[in-house]
Structure 1
Amino acid sequence: MLKYFILFIFFEKYFSSAQIIPILVLSHNREDGLKRILSQVTRYRPNATQFPVFISQNNVDLTIELITNEFQSQFSNLFHWHPDRLKFTEGDQLNYDEHLIYGLDTLFKEMNYTDAIVLEDDIDISRDIFNYFGHFKAALDLDETIWCISAYNPNGLAKLVDKRQKDLVYRSDYFSEYGFMISRKVWIELNFTGSDWMSFVHETMIRKNGVCLRPEISRSRHNGPLYSGLKQRDKLHHIIPVIICKGKPNLGNTSNLSKYTKLNYDQELQFNLNKSISLAPKDFYQHGTSNNSFILINYSNWDEFSNIANFLKLRHDSINDILPGSYKGTQSFYFNGSRIITTFNKSIFIR
């Protein structure tokens, strides 16, 4: 790792460590996927020095090494490592966990970066993803309950988002894994050493009241056609894929990020719930939304929610009883000109 330490010192001559945001690309055995994500990363990163790329390969596939060598010959500040000490095991999930630990431990504990972006070789990214991460990075320091910035909206189908709201993000108890930013401070506090990263972060963050910020318009999506080993919970959204942000929208300045702190966000959510029009699930199916600003759909059992989810094609697979994209028992999405908020009877926000 000596050469990476030397590179870190070199980068700091031009940027402070807080300005440099490494991009960790976790590579498995997806040749076409790796070519695709590296093409996008090298094309979209605003500055090669500020956004160095570290490709971490968790197998011994020579073709993967040849692909990384090809990109290294064409682009600067793009590095490849093969974790020699990684114990390769059967099963994608355990490999992913060990791989993630190795990559982030290297960037945070050995190279001393303050933040990192994690991508994989089975996703596509938007043109503005690095501007998006750079803009919302300050939120990680602004509110200690915000532990990550996610690029993915698990309910980001075209009919469920407001395409005008490219700068809108939400607090979410659900961790969306398709591209995220995490800080060194949080990674060390998490102390993840075991298996099943997804269950671990949901259980840990519930206990600590931690949230991610996730976008209205996704900055990433799974490139399902390139990867046949799709997780069961994601199959629906690769039949009808989420949309990703087009162009480079103006995200404003970081002074408005205070609205995403817990106190301010909860107050605004409660205000919106108070002014919303309540509809029973059956009335929603029969009469629609009538273009009202806010509509609250309160369901009283899982069957009612499943019917709503099936009607709208919402994700309704849960992890540790947390629904995709949800916050404190509420899910927010845009449908037929209205902002819809679904909530269970016992939600803390119910009037």
Structure 2
Amino acid sequence: MLRTRGSVILCGTFLFITWNAILVLFLWGRSPTGQLGDPGQDNSDGIENPSIDVVKDLFRMADILEAELENQKNILREIQSQQSVLELSDRNKAKVQVAPEPVIPILVIACNRVTVRRCLDKLLLHRPSAELYPIIVSQDCGHAETAAVIRSYGNQVTHLKQPDLSDIAVRPEHKKFQGYYKISRHYHFALNQVFKTLSHSSVVIVEDDLEVAPDFFEYFRALLPLLKSDPSLWCVSAWNDNGRDGFVDPAKANLLYRTDFFPGLGWMLLRELWEELEPKWPASFWDDWMRQPEQRRNRACIRPEISRTLTFGRQGVSLGQFYDKYLRYMKLNTEFVPFTKLDLSYLKEETYRNNFEKEIYSAPVVTYEDVKLGKLNGPGPFRLQYSNKDSFKLMAKNLGIMEDLKSGVPRTGYRGIVSFISRGRRIYLSPPPGWTKYDPTWS
């Protein structure tokens, strides 16, 4: 673009100079009467006697020449002015285009499931850019068949192998939890590879039994700037623990929440968080360790109304815990939401907290029996209040949502409030007004 504009300016300058040269030559070789002397007079003595008319013509021609030169100077000034404007515009555009798009690697934690193919196929199907979303598969267990599946993708993925496959010394009563110890060791290895060896600044972690939604990549790209700028956040998750079909609003695929509960199951963290956690990374049960107050430090995660991941792995170290009762019924989002084009400023801490609490505590209070039997009048939302751990667990269990708590925090909870759909109406299962903090003994 600069080369083209420079050529135009050069051409204009050349035409200006050429025009004036021609004009001067033309006027130089021309007299007003065709010759300077009187054709009827003998000029043999070599003395010219120009008439008064000739002098007037010469003055008139000088005036015309002066006016034309002034006009040409104005044209040249305009050309120079346009050149300055175009150069400034090009410099500004260059500044805008300097910042590259951030790279967000996807880390797939794999072990001995050949069904990792389903996970990788969906990632590759929905991935909009190989350069912006490199897929890194970190494999533990040394399972040959799984390794062969991963290798079959060639350079579409990077295949890492956990070098330490040895058993871990544990207390006798923890021998049955050997798998959880190995998983924690594997996470430590894989995250060090991503952040320290490969020098990435962020990562999205999925496990080999997760399928992703069509807008999975769009979701995380849109929320990366918020995660970087808001110190009250420490992760972004694709998962809703109460995201079973019938418990979410299908018309609100674009709805996002803050949650005090660490969801996992497809989540993004920054290198700065790993630098904080890595020195004290636990030997086992890393996800519950993340939910402890010492690690969470009153920070929240972002999670969606409708999950952007779906687990299809019933078999694993948890031996199908929760799968048959909850996980197999989870709803995976199918509608592409252009999150990068939406205003997500409502998720900033103070704005979100004020608006969320105002909506919850201005909603009419209803009884458990009315919710359970569908005897609610109006479209909602409604508030169902619990007073202690037992009342929360009883109502949650009977209404079909997750009733367990980790360090006092309910799944999907924000300031003690759990949001879900029951019989087509929004319900907020919440503590009384004036809530201040979680009680870690509620577990």
TM-score normalised over the length of structure 1: 0.86
Q: CA deviation at 1:290?
A: 2.9
**8 Å contact 1:142–1:258 — kept in the other structure?**
no
**CA positional deviation for 1:347:** 6.0
Most deviating of 136-145 and 211-220: 136-145
Aligned to 2:172: none
Write the mapping of 1:2-17 to structure 2, written as runs, cut at 5 A.
none
Gaps of 5+ in 1: 1-14
Letter in 2 for 1:69: R
1:82 maps to which of 155, 161, 179: 161
The answer to whether the 8 A contact 1:35-1:67 is kept is yes
CA deviation map 1:55-101 (0-9, x unaligned): 111111111111111111xxx44110112246553722111111111
Give the corresponding residue for 1:22: 105
Select 1:131's aligned residue among 195, 215, 218: 218
Choose the corresponding residue for 2:337, options 245, 249, 255.
Answer: 249
Report the alpha carbon displacement of residue 271 of structure 1 after superposing the two structures with TM: 1.3
Q: Distance in 1 between matches of 2:295 and 2:240?
A: 19
Please state how far the C-alpha of 1:18 moved relative to its aligned partner.
Answer: 6.1
Which residue pairs with 2:281 in the alignment? 193
Give deviations 1:96-128, integer Å, cap 9, x for gaps.
Answer: 111111111111122221110101112221121
8 Å Cα contact 2:290/2:296 also seen in 1? no
Quote the offset at 1:201 in angstroms: 1.1
| Aligned Cα root-mean-square deviation (Å) | 2.5
- AA of the residue aligned to 2:396: A
CA distance in 2, matches of 1:206, 1:25: 23
Residue 31 of structure 1: which of 103, 114, 121 is its match?
A: 114
- 2:232, 2:370 → 1: CA distance? 37
Q: Which amino acid aligns with 2:427?
A: I
RCO higher in 1 or 2 (8 Å CA, sep ≥ 6)? 1
The letter for the 2-side match of 1:139 is L
Contact 1:233 1:317 in 2 (8 A): no
Give how far 1:136 is off.
1.3
Could you tell me the percent identity over the aligned residues?
25
Structure 1 pair 149/88, CA: closer, same or farther in 2 (3 Å)?
A: farther
* Residue 5 (structure 1) aligns with: none
Quick one: which of 269, 273, 276 aligns to 1:182? 269
Q: Give the conservation status (yes or no) of the 8 Å contact 1:270–1:349.
A: no
Shift in Å at residue 235 of structure 1?
A: 4.1
Task: Kindly state the Cα deviation for residue 231 of structure 1 after the two structures are TM-superposed.
Answer: 4.8
TM-score by length of 2: 0.69
Query: CA 1:54–1:88 in structure 2 vs 1: closer, same or farther (change >3 Å)?
Result: farther
Residue 157 of structure 1: how far off its partner (Å): 1.0
Give 3-state SS (helix, strand or coil) of 2:405's partner.
Answer: coil
Q: CA deviation at 1:133?
A: 0.9
Q: Is the 8 A contact 1:328 1:347 kept in 2?
A: no
Structure 2 segments unaligned to the other structure (5+ residues): 1-97, 169-176, 438-443
Deviation (angstroms), 1:343: 1.3
Instruction: Supply the AA of the counterpart residue of 1:54.
Output: I
Secondary structure of 2:222's counterpart equals: helix
Match of 1:92 in 2: 179
Q: Number of paired residues?
A: 331
Aligned pair partner of 1:40 in 122, 142, 155? 122
Aligned to 1:8: none
